Structure 1
Amino acid sequence: MSKAAEIDIASVSKIYGTTTAVHAISLKIPAGTYCCLLGPSGCGKTSTLRMIAGHESISSGDIRLGNAVVTDLPPARRGTAMMFQSYALFPHLDLVDNVAFSLKMKGVSKDERHAKALDMLKLMQLEAYATRRPAQLSGGQQQRVALARALITDPEALLLDEPLSALDPFLKIRMRAELKKLQTSLGITFVHVTHSQEEAMALADLIVVMNDGRIEQAAHPRAVFERPATAFVAKFMGDHNVISGRVIENSDSMLKLSVSAGGEFLAANTGAAGLTDSADIAVRTDRVRIGEPSEKGLGFIGSVTNVEYRGSSVKLSVNGAGVEDFTAILSDTAFFANPVRVGEAIPLCWNREDVVVLGRLKH
């Protein structure tokens, strides 16, 4: 297998007519990293992937793969391979010829390309199906054929466009494990586009959260989960409540916010030095408890709007103190020891260390 390459995206933009799909993004993906580009539909993640692959022209900026600038190179000369969402297998060819297709286009002899295709099918545990056509395979098997076909060219980076979206939930989880195992054993750089937070958390060494053609945060999954950089990341990852308000106090040790409908909230002042008028803070949903706060500003009284049983946990939605749809994730033990109902007024609280001061993305 060829060695992995670092991917360096330098001030890359993509403009379609009057619409800017990607706004001058810069990102370094270290060699051998499993990177997930994550975000809602239309955030620019697929355009970014296609620009790395060469299937989409770059409006401005440069992309380097290893030491080579590949900005103007055609896809076949970049050292990348792309696996498409639809798999795009040839229905009339058996698996060996499907996998060997790119080598056939390069003029590799039949014996050599078939031997290499069989090696790839072996890697995917599909050698027993070598003479079958794609229609005779399950979705998960078709996906592995598409992977084998992409990997046969010994790419330095494999680019995957929502590769698991067509699979059922159980198969998704199994294929996630297979993708991770494959990337670890091959050691090459994977760049994987997804809109699933769970998928990105399970697979990536580097999560790149995109919104509206910009990068909101690029970090290890744990950093994105525990310390979201912006309100968008905190909301999109779904594990933090975001409270936006007016700054009424900003000292060396503490930030105090006032919410329009009356609530006041505290946060330890980390990175909030420049905030003077308004600010966003985030509170981890799984750190919220039912009970009176230890000090004013670390909780509020609200009305329960929804109770959702999830097996090992229970999700509460609460409105109050000017905060709508505030989420608390309680363990099933904690909830059933003291159950609450929709419509009930309850006190919620959390610790100061469970509050994050969020940054603002400069547009």
Structure 2
Amino acid sequence: MSKAADIDIASITKIYGTTTAVDAVSLKIRAGTYCCLLGPSGCGKTSTLRMIAGHETVSSGDILLGTTMVTDLPPARRGTAMMFQSYALFPHLDLVDNVAFSLKMKGMGREERRAKALEMLTLMQLEPYATRRPAQLSGGQQQRVALARALITDPAVLLLDEPLSALDPFLKVRMRAELKKLQTSLGITFVHVTHSQEEAMALADLIVVMNEGRIEQAAPPRTVFEQPATAFVARFMGDHNVISGRVLASDASGQTIEVPNGGRFHANGPAADTGAPADIAVRTDRIRLGDPIAEGYGFQGIVGNIEYLGATVRLSITGAGLDEFTVVARDTDFFTRQPKIGEAVPLSWDPGDVIVLGRPQHRNP
């Protein structure tokens, strides 16, 4: 297997007509990293992946793989391999010939390429199915064939475009484990596009959250979860309530945020200009039900919905000028208090659980 390569992306932009799909993105992915590009549809993650692969031209900026500037190189000369969302297997070929196809295109002899293909199928635990055609396989087996076909070219970087999207929920979990195990054993750089927060958290060493063609945050999963950089990241990851308002007062001890037509909340953080827009966040699982409210660290809300999820219970709350506020309570805590829909309930949290969020510098008009 090729030695893993660093990926250096320097201010790359992709413009389609009058639309900027990727807007001056810069990112360094260390060799041997499992990186997930995460974000909603249309955020620029797939365009970024395809520019790394060479399947899309770069409007401006540069891409360096290892020590090689690959910005203008064709895909076959980049040292990357791409696994497509659809798998794109040839229905009329058996698994050996599917996996060996790229080696055939390079002119390798039949016996040598089939031997290499069998090695890859063995690595993917598919050797017993070598003479079958793709239609005779399950979705998970087809995915492993597509992986074998990508890896047979000995890439330094494997690029994966939503590889788990076609699988059922139970198989997704199994294939996540297999992907992580494979990446660890091969030691090469994986760049994986997904819109699933759970998938990115489970797989990645580095999560790159994208929005409107730009990077909102690039950090390890635990940092993205515990310290989201912006309101978008906090909302998109789904683990935090975002409280947006304006700075009412600010001093060395922190800020007081006032929500339009609603409550006032405190946050420890850097001083900010009075009247400036501000976002703070509180994790959904750090909120207590029924405890006394310390000023600025909670509010009285009305229960709008209750979802029992087994070990936890999710409550949707309104109040203090907040349209949506989520509490994820342990089942024992919920059933001790057991509030009903329509009931008023005090919510509170600790000062240390409040995060002051940054704001993006600029956006496309």
Aligning the two structures, in what range does the TM-score lie when normalised by the shorter sequence? over 0.9
- Report the secondary structure of 1:21's partner residue: strand
> In the alignment, is residue 65 of structure 1 matched against residue 68 of structure 2?
no
CA contact (8 A) 2:265 2:297 kept: yes
Q: In the alignment, which residue of structure 1 is the partner of 2:307?
A: 308
TM-score normalised over the length of structure 1:
0.98
Runs of 4+ with >3 A deviation? 271-276
Partner Cα separation in structure 2 for residue 65 and residue 215 of structure 1: 20
1:335 is matched with which residue? 334
Match of 1:134 in 2: 134
**Partner SS, residue 362 of structure 1:** coil
In structure 2, what is the equivalent of residue 84 of structure 1? 84
Letter in 2 for 1:258: E
CA contact (8 A) 1:35 1:205 kept: yes
**TM superposition shift of 1:249:** 1.2
Task: Answer with 252-261 or 285-294: which moved more.
Answer: 285-294
Aligned partner of 1:21 in structure 2 is 21
The secondary structure found in structure 2 opposite 1:3 is coil
1:182 maps to which residue?
A: 182
Looking at structure 1, the residues matched to 150 and 274 of structure 2 have their Cα atoms a distance apart, in angstroms, of 48
Give the distance between the partners of 2:43 and 2:274, measured in 1 at CA: 27
Q: For each residue in 1:258-317, what CA deviation from the matched residue of structure 2 results, as whole angstroms up to 9, or x when unmatched?
A: 111130001111x45567511000000000111344520100001000000000000001
Report the Cα distance in structure 2 between the residues aligned to 1:275 and 1:208, rounded to whole angstroms: 32
CA-to-aligned-CA distance 1:64-115 (integer Å, 9 cap, x gap): 0000000000000000000000000000000000000000000011111111
Distance 1:65 1:177 in 2: 27
1:304/1:318 contact within 8 Å kept: yes
Per-residue deviation at 1:61?
A: 0.1
Q: Is the 8 A contact 1:6 1:30 kept in 2?
A: yes
**Would the aligned equivalents of 1:293 and 1:350 in 2 still touch at CA under 8 Å?**
no
Match for residue 56 of structure 2? 56
Work out the CA distance in 2 between the residues paired with 1:272 and 1:48: 36
Say which SS state the counterpart of residue 98 (structure 1) adopts: helix
* 1:295 paired residue number: 294
Q: In the alignment, is the contact (CA less than 8 A) between 1:44 and 1:213 conserved in 2? A: yes
Aligned to 1:120: 120
Q: State the one-letter code of the partner of 1:91.
A: P
Q: Cα–Cα, structure 1 residues 185 and 256, in superposed 2: closer, same or farther, change >3 Å?
A: same
The one-letter code sitting in structure 1 at the alignment partner of 2:325 is F
Aligned-partner Cα distance in 2 for 1:293–1:236 = 30
Contact 2:252 2:271 in 1 (8 A): no
Which amino acid is the alignment partner of residue 307 of structure 1? I
User: What per-residue deviation string (whole Å, max 9, x for no partner) do you get for residues 216-235 of structure 1?
Assistant: 00000000000000000000
CA distance in 1, matches of 2:350, 2:203: 30
Give aligned-pair identity as a percent.
75
Rounded to whole Å, the distance in 1 between the matches of 2:85 and 2:262 is: 48
SS of alignment partner, residue 246 of structure 2: strand
Please give the alpha-carbon distance, in whole angstroms, between the structure 1 residues aligned to 2:141 and 2:221.
Answer: 29
Work out the number of aligned pairs and report it. Answer: 362
- Provide the C-alpha distance between the structure 2 equivalents of 1:293 and 1:55, rounded to a whole number of angstroms: 58
TM-score normalized with structure 2 length: 0.98
CA shift at 1:323, angstroms? Answer: 0.8
Q: What is the rounded CA distance, in whole Å, between the counterparts of 1:57 and 1:287 in structure 2?
A: 45
Residue 325 of structure 2 corresponds to 326
Question: Compared with structure 1, are the counterparts of its residues 362 and 282 closer, same or farther at alpha carbon in structure 2 (3 Å cutoff)?
Answer: same
Contact 2:13–2:60, Cα closer than 8 Å, also in 1 = yes
Pairwise CA RMSD: 1.0
Decide whether the 8 Å contact of 1:250 with 1:276 is kept in 2.
no
For residues 1-363 of structure 1, the aligned pairs below 5 Å read 1-269=1-269, 271-273=270-272, 277-293=276-292, 295-363=294-362
Letter in 2 for 1:224: V
CA distance in 2, matches of 1:128, 1:192: 28
- Letter of the 1:71 partner, please give it: T
Residue type at the aligned position of 1:279: A
SS at match of 1:333: helix
- What whole-Å deviation, never above 9, does each CA across 1:199-230 have from its counterpart, x for those lacking one? 00000000000000000000000000000000
- Separation in structure 1 between the aligned mates of residue 50 and residue 273 of structure 2, nearest angstrom: 38
Equivalent-residue separation in structure 2 for 1:274 and 1:2 (angstroms): 52
Contact 2:255 2:272 in 1 (8 A): no
The one-letter code of the counterpart of 2:99 is V
SS at match of 1:61: strand
Residues 234-265 of structure 1 show CA distances to partners (whole Å, capped at 9, x for unaligned) of: 00000000001110111112111011113000
Looking at structure 2, the residues matched to 278 and 248 of structure 1 have their Cα atoms a distance apart, in angstroms, of 10
Aligned residue type for 1:119: E
Structure 1 spans left out of the alignment, 5+ residues: none
**Residue identity opposite 1:249 in structure 2:** A
